[in-house]
A and B are shown apart, each in its own frame.
Chain A
Amino acid sequence: MRIAKSETMSVRAAPEVVGVRHAVRKWAVELGFSLVEQTKIVTAASELARNMVDYGKGGTLTLEGLDDGHRRGLRLIFEDHGPGIPDLAAALRDGFTTGSGMGLGLGGARRLSNEFEIKTAPGEGTRIAITRWRGVS
């Protein structure tokens, strides 16, 4: 599998979340995703970008266009050097919490993606990678 194209952007403040949505939308359109596929990955990106700003103290988003010979995909890597997620299991469980807590963000982003990887530890920051392949529900 190869990475056809890659781009990294900084996401430090709330207004930049909109920029993330636009960038992801643009890449998804270029890769030929259907409208529903686009909406799913843009929404997932919005959730993760916001989490990164609110809890991770800002970080970077790397967009990668993938090609595994059969199909094309889009991978988004959100990386921050914030406090890390203390209780990952709880965070992944859907809690529609208002106020503090990630609510549906993490679990939702996972449900909206074909692949989901997370690496986090208290004090070590967080790295989340989500992938959506074209033509896969």
Chain B
Amino acid sequence: MAEKGWAVLAGLLRANAQEIVNEWVRLQRQDLALRNNLLKAGELEQQCRDFIELLSRALETGGGANVNTSDTWAPVRDFLSGISRSRARQGFSPTETATFVFSLKQPVFDVLRKNVAAEELTDRAWDITTLLDALGLYTTETYQKGREEIIARQQQELLELSTPVVQLWEGVLALPLIGTLDSARTQVVMESLLQTIVDTGSEIAIIDITGVPVVDTLVAQHLLKTVAAARLMGADCIISGIRPQIAQTIVHLGVEINDVITKATLADAFAIALKRAGLAVVRKASAGRAAGAAE
């Protein structure tokens, strides 16, 4: 690429900055008709003006090559990353975010047509197109990364929220599992259960899977490993809430579940747990009569 070409572009951008910004903002607002409330008035204008400035400076310094890697273009990349991340957070779609860069093409073409001689026009147009394409793609990529970071963080939060180990009674824990269990989640949950067994000195843990729609081999194995680990530590597990479909799956998978106590409901499991702990629930007859109410 001729150095002169980039310098020409830079010069044109600077000289016509206001005109370009005005048209650019108008086009974006048109495309983002539904999102106007997300961008404060004047904020978009400022972002566009800043970008043109950074773009011009980079073109003047090092030309339009290696936008993804060279240090010259680092300020532009950082700026676009910032825009990408904030748009991702605000809920813009990837296309809407990349529109920031791509909609700049039209206003720049208009300026080129008015200021560049016919024989040079094609080259300059090509230069700016490839440049903005590269930057637009870069924007999309950082957008993606931004979304992935959000999802990873949300997953972590969900994991922490949905691993509740409950103490039903002294020495009796319950772990009601809800939703689909993937390998990672099951592990976190099981480790949490085992740690709670130690912390509370509970000898019985009821793992209730009523709320788990699908139990595949991996999950079944994790459950059994947890039961085995608890036993090694000196506690026993009861698995409750095994629906007929899950029982079928387990048998079909050939998983060995013979020596684990299983109960249909958490209530049944609790009854067993109480019995083993040497506890009993007793109805107090006198209280009912004293209240005078019919049973």
Binding site for B on A (CB under 8 A): 36, 137
The contact string, 1 if C-beta is below 8 Å from chain A, for chain B 229-259, is: 0000000000000000000000000000000
Question: Cβ of B191 and Cβ of A137 under 8 Å apart?
Answer: no
Contacts of B183 in A (CB 8 A): 137
What is the minimal beta-carbon distance from B187 to any residue of chain A, in angstroms?
A: 5
What is the minimal beta-carbon distance from A74 to any residue of chain B, in angstroms?
A: 19
Cα-based distance from A137 to B184 in the complex (angstroms):
7
Cα-based distance from A35 to B286 in the complex (angstroms):
53
What is the minimal beta-carbon distance from B19 to any residue of chain A, in angstroms?
A: 43
Q: Main secondary structure on chain B at its contact with chain A?
A: helix
| 5 closest A-B pairs by CB | A137-B187, A137-B183, A36-B191, A137-B184, A36-B187
Cα-based distance from A137 to B181 in the complex (angstroms):
14
Residue of B nearest to A34 (CB): B191
Contacts of B187 in A (CB 8 A): 36, 137
The contact string, 1 if C-beta is below 8 Å from chain A, for chain B 172-214, is: 0000000000011001000100000000000000000000000
Cα-based distance from A36 to B194 in the complex (angstroms):
12
Contacts of A36 in B (CB 8 A): 187, 191
Cα-based distance from A137 to B187 in the complex (angstroms):
8
> Can you spell out 5 A-B residue pairs with CB atoms less than 8 angstroms apart?
A36-B187, A36-B191, A137-B183, A137-B184, A137-B187
Cα-based distance from A36 to B191 in the complex (angstroms):
8
Residue of A nearest to B183 (CB): A137
Cα-based distance from A49 to B191 in the complex (angstroms):
27
Cα-based distance from A23 to B136 in the complex (angstroms):
48
Residue of B nearest to A36 (CB): B191
Residue of A nearest to B190 (CB): A36
Residue of B nearest to A135 (CB): B184
What is the minimal beta-carbon distance from B199 to any residue of chain A, in angstroms?
A: 14
Contacts of A137 in B (CB 8 A): 183-184, 187
Residue of A nearest to B195 (CB): A35
What is the minimal beta-carbon distance from B222 to any residue of chain A, in angstroms?
A: 9
Cα-based distance from A137 to B183 in the complex (angstroms):
8
Contacts of B191 in A (CB 8 A): 36
Cα-based distance from A36 to B184 in the complex (angstroms):
13
Q: Which of B79-137 contact A (CB under 8 A)?
A: none
Cα-based distance from A36 to B187 in the complex (angstroms):
10
What is the minimal beta-carbon distance from B271 to any residue of chain A, in angstroms?
A: 33
Residue of B nearest to A136 (CB): B184
Contacts of B184 in A (CB 8 A): 137
What is the minimal beta-carbon distance from A136 to any residue of chain B, in angstroms?
A: 9
Cα-based distance from A55 to B191 in the complex (angstroms):
35
What is the minimal beta-carbon distance from B190 to any residue of chain A, in angstroms?
A: 10
What is the minimal beta-carbon distance from B55 to any residue of chain A, in angstroms?
A: 29
What is the minimal beta-carbon distance from A120 to any residue of chain B, in angstroms?
A: 30
Cα-based distance from A137 to B189 in the complex (angstroms):
13
Residue of A nearest to B194 (CB): A36
